[in-house]
Amino acid sequence: MKPKLGQGDFISGNTPLLKIGKFCDEFDLPNLLVKDESKNPFGTWKDRRSQTIVEKAKQALANKLCIITFGNAGYSLAKFCDKTDIKVVSIIDVSLPMPIKIVLRRACYKVIETDLSEKILTPNDSIALARENDKETVWDVTNGFQDAYESIIEEIKETVPDYLICPVGSGEGFVGLYNGLRKANLHSKLIGVKPYTNPSCADKLNTPWTPYEAKIRKILTEGHGLITLNEKDIKSVYSFSKNLIDCEPSSSVTFGVLTKLKIKPSAKVIVINSGKGLE
């Protein structure tokens, strides 16, 4: 865990870029590096967005933040708001595993369960669920913070990778990385990975709807890629990866795609391990 800066403040980012020999050998990629986002304060690349959100909420004097989450984003946000006056309401699907529900209930001001497969909640819907009185300033922060992921590019740009591989749920991180690559004038090929089925054992990547769909389609027309993995492949690569790095099925998908791509052994490849999940 990284040190506290002050009341309820933590530092995200500056995570290690690792060369893990067994990954290099397994995929025959000597120049494979892993950007290990599990080393963020609360174990996920969502910490980057949480820090950004809380900084903006403090400046705007927001009272309450609500977020649709499958675990990591809600927990991260609640922990970044710890010891502040900002309340976090996590809106979760009724099917979320009980251990994750328990962790969220301990961390958040409130957890609201609903059937997310039945209706797509708009930001106004989420705010209405979270609001308790007319005097509150309530923000829905489920989406819209893709800029927070651009800092990853700042941290790896000197490596000049040929490929950058990340998991895709809503696509917020994918879009943020793409924007970061453009700003840094890097021509790395961005590869997103998502499960073929929904729901999936890669549960943090389950999403019924995303506002980033049109942007992702545009990015793909520029030569970048979005690849799906089936459940068998996800379980297999997670079984291998979890012994080498702190990860969960949703983050291990990035390693699973390496056998699907025709990457030359000489290529520089950076795989993002998005986190280790809730414990």
97: pLDDT strictly greater than 60: yes
The predicted pLDDT at position 41 comes to 96
d(CA 165, CA 273): 9
What confidence category does residue 4 fall into, taking pLDDT thresholds of 50, 70 and 90? very low
The predicted pLDDT at position 231 comes to 97
What confidence category does residue 6 fall into, taking pLDDT thresholds of 50, 70 and 90? very low
Q: Give Dmax (Cα) for the chain.
A: 60
Domains and CATH numbers, the chain: 4-44+145-273 (3.40.50.1100), 46-140 (3.40.50.1100)
128-178, pLDDT tens digit by residue?
999 999 999 999 999 999 999 999 999 999 999 999 999 999 999 999 999
14: pLDDT strictly greater than 80: yes
120-134, pLDDT tens digit by residue?
899 999 999 999 999
* Average of per-residue pLDDT across 235-242: 97
d(CA 167, CA 271): 9
Quote the tokens at residue 239. Answer: 């079984």
The predicted pLDDT at position 279 comes to 65
Strands (E) across 58-188 are located at 64-68, 87-93, 110-114, 138-140, 163-167
- Cβ contacts of residue 115 below 8 Å, gap of 6+? 93, 94
